[in-house]
Structure 1
Amino acid sequence: MSKKIVVTGLGATTPLGGTARESWDALLAGASGASTIEAEWVEQNQLPVTFAAQAKVPASEVLERVEAKRLDPGSQFALIAAREAWADAGLDEVVPERFGIDWATGIGGVWTLLDAWDTLRERGPRRVLPMTVPMLMPNAPAAAIEMALGARGGARTVVSACASSTESIANGYDHLQAGLADVIIAGGSEASIHPLPLAAFASMQALSKRNDDPASASRPYDATRDGFVLGEGGAAIVLETEEHALARGARIYAEVVGGAVTSDAYHITAPDPEGSAAARAMIAAIEGAGYSRNDVVHINAHATSTPVGDIAEYNALKHVFGAHLANVPVTASKASTGHLLGAAGGIEAIFTILALAERTAPPTINLHEQDAEIDLDVVRSPRALGDGDLLAISNSFGFGGHNAVVALKTY
C-alpha cells in the first residue's frame, strides 16, 4: 500500500541567505546572489569569468574552526543545511536504524583535491594531509551528516551532475515507500567556485561573461541570455512517513507524491533538443503519483540561462502539458541563485515546497526581453497560487543526459 511521504524540515545555505527562510525571503524580494569574486586567484589565473553566486554566509561563520578544518567546503555546506533541517523538523529522538541519508553532489570535493595536488607538486608527498581522501570523496557530505545526526539506516550518495539532488529526493521518497526508514534527510551540496571549474565551464562557453554586471547575468528565458552563473551552497529536506510525522505532532510543509529519473542517451553535455526523455520524467513523476498533467499549477524549471538548455526544456514542457502549459506559472529561480550544480535541485525543491505551503509562486528576475521561441507564463513578481489542493513539479537536468523530477503537493 502506498504511504504518504511528507516534508517536515527545511535547511539551506545559498547565495541568497544563510538559512532556508532567508533564501526564500530574498527570492521573493527579487534579490540576486551573484557578485564579483574578491580573491587573488581570479587575476592570478587570468580567468575570463570573474564572478559567481557565492554563499551569502561563509561556512566559517557557522561551523567551529576545528570541525570545518576536517571537511571540504561541500561537506561544510551539507552539514549546515542538514542541521538546520533537523532542528526545523523538531526531531529530538529517532530510532537510528530507521533514519537514513539520501545526499548528492555534482562534482565532489574539488577544493580538497586540487589543493592537495598543489601541495604535492610544490611541497612533496609528506605535506599532503592524511585526511585528503576522506575529505574529497563524493560521499563525504553524506558521511558528515550521518555521523553528526546519528543516522544508521544508510547514507547514500547520488552523483548525476545537475540532476543530483533532485534524484536524491526521489530516492528518499522511494526508500520511505519501501519501508527502509521512517525519516530521511535528502538534498545536496556543492562548492566548486574554484579556478579550474570556472575556467573549464568558461572554455565550453557555458558561463555568462557579464563581468561588468554579475547581478543580472543569470537571465533564464531572456533573448540575450549567454550562459549560467556558477553557484554554491547546500539544501536539506527532512522526509518522513505521514504516520511517523503525525505520531510525534510534527508540522508538515507539503507532501512529496512522486519522483522519476530518465536519461537522454544523446550527448555528454548537450540536452536532447526535443526533450523527450525529460518529458518522460515529468510524466512519470506526475502520473505515477496518480495525478493528471492538468493538475499541475506551478513549475520550478531547471532553466539555467543557457541558449540551448532553456529551449530544450521548453520543448519538453510543451510535450507534457500541451495547451495547459499556458495556465501554469513557471519560476526559474537560478536567475537569483545562480546554478548550484549538484545542490541546485535541493534548493529548488525547497522553493517549490514553500511556494505550495505559502501558496505563492516566486519571481524570476532579469527577464527583460522574453525569447520569442519560449512561450511560457514566467512569474515576474510573487504570484498567488490559489486555494484547494495544489500540485507542482521541480525539474533538474544534468550533463550526461540525466533527468530528474519530483512532484509535490499541498498538505
Structure 2
Amino acid sequence: MALLATLCGCASYVPKPLQAAPAWPDDIATTTPLTVDQVVERALTHSPDVRRAERELGIAEARKYADGLLPDPQLSFSTDRPGAAGFVPAFMVGLSYEVSALIDHPAKQRGATAALEKQQFALQWTKWQVANHAYALYVTNVSLARVKAEVAQLTVHHQVADDHMRRALARGDVTRDTAVQTETAYRDSLQRLDTLEQDHLKAQQELDAMLDLQPGTHLTLATPPEAYDVPSDAVHDALAILGQRRPDLLALRAGYSEQDERYRAALLGQFPRLDIGLTRGRDTSAIYTSGIAVTVTLPLFNGNRGNIAVEKTTRESLYEEYTQRLKDAHVAVHNIVSNLDLLSHQLRNARSMELTLDQTAKQAGIAQARGDVTLPTLMDLESRLLNQRIATAKLENAALLQQVELCTLTGVSAIDHQPPQ
C-alpha cells in the first residue's frame, strides 16, 4: 500500500513534440498606422527577450520548490538464508533519515527565495529595456523614413540640376568642371539614398523581430509624439536612489543575498553528516532484535572546505560586480546628460541655420524669376537647404535616442518620463 501511494504521487511523462515549421501570430494590422503605445505594448507581449525572461522566472520558481523539499527517508531491507537445518531465515529492516539536512535547510530556502526575487527583478529589467528599445526603434524607423524622403527629394533636385548642366554644357554655356561637380553631387545623393534604404530596412527587420512578426512584414507607423527634455530634477532624484529602484541593480542585490545564503549554507555544511535510523531484525535462531543506527561522516579530508571556498569567492565576485555596475550607471547617466546638452546646442544652431537658408532660398527664387540670380545659384541654395533639413532631422533623432537611453538608465518611462509601475 505504501508503494502504491508513492507511485500515485509521482509525476507522469507527457510528450511534447517540436514544431516542424515556425509559427507567427497574425493579430496585427499592417495598414493602420500604429502608435508608439501600441508598438511598446506588443513588444512587451511578444518580444522573444521577454518570453525568455519569463521562462527563466519559471525555472527559478521550480528551483525554489526543489530547494524547499526535504530529503526522503531511507528504507533498507536485507535477509539471510541459513545453509543448515534447524535455523530460520534472518532479516534486517531499517528506517533512517539524514538529520543533518535540517541544519542548512533554512539557509537554502532563503537563498532560493532570493534567487526567485532576483529573477523577478531581471524580468522587470528586461521588460523595461524592451519597452524603451521598442520606443527607440519606433522613433528610428519614423526618422529614417522622413530622412529618406528628404534625401529622395534632394536626389531628384540634383538629377534636375544634372540634366540642366548637361544641356548647358552641350550648348557651351558652362564649363565641364561645373557640369562634373553637378553630376558628382547627384551621384553622391544616390549613394546616400541607397545607404539610408539599407539602414531603414535593417531597422524594420529589427522591429519586426522584436514584435514577433513574420519576416518581410511592413508596418505603418504613426508620427511619434514630440520629444521633450527629461527634467533635471527627475534625473537627480533617480540617481540618488538608483540602487533601490533600477530593476537590474535590484536583481544584483537579490543575487548577492542569494549567494550570501549559499555561503552560509556551505559553512553549515561543515558539520558532520548525521543519519539516524531505527532497525528491526531477526537472526537465524529466531531471536528478534530492535535498535538504533547512527551514521556520522568524519570531516577529516573534505569537511566541505571546497564548497566554502567556491561560495565565498562567488560572493566576492558578485559584490564587485554590483559595485562596478552602480558606478557605471552613474557615469553613463552623467555622460548622456552631457551629450544631450551638446546635442541641444547643435540642434538650436541647426534649426536657426535651416530657417535662414529657407528664407534665403525663397528670396533667391523671387530674384531668379526677375533674372537677378542665375539658376545654378538658386539650385545650389535649395540643395543646401535640403542638406540642412537632413542634418536637422538626424540631430533630432540622435537627441531623442539619447533621451530614451537616459530614461532606460534612470528607470523612468521614455514616453511620459514617469517611474515604472
Normalised to the residue count of structure 2, the TM-score between the two structures is 0.18
Select the structure of larger CA radius of gyration. 2
Question: Which structure shows the higher helix fraction?
Answer: 2
Question: Which structure shows the higher strand fraction?
Answer: 1
Normalised to the residue count of structure 1, the TM-score between the two structures is 0.18
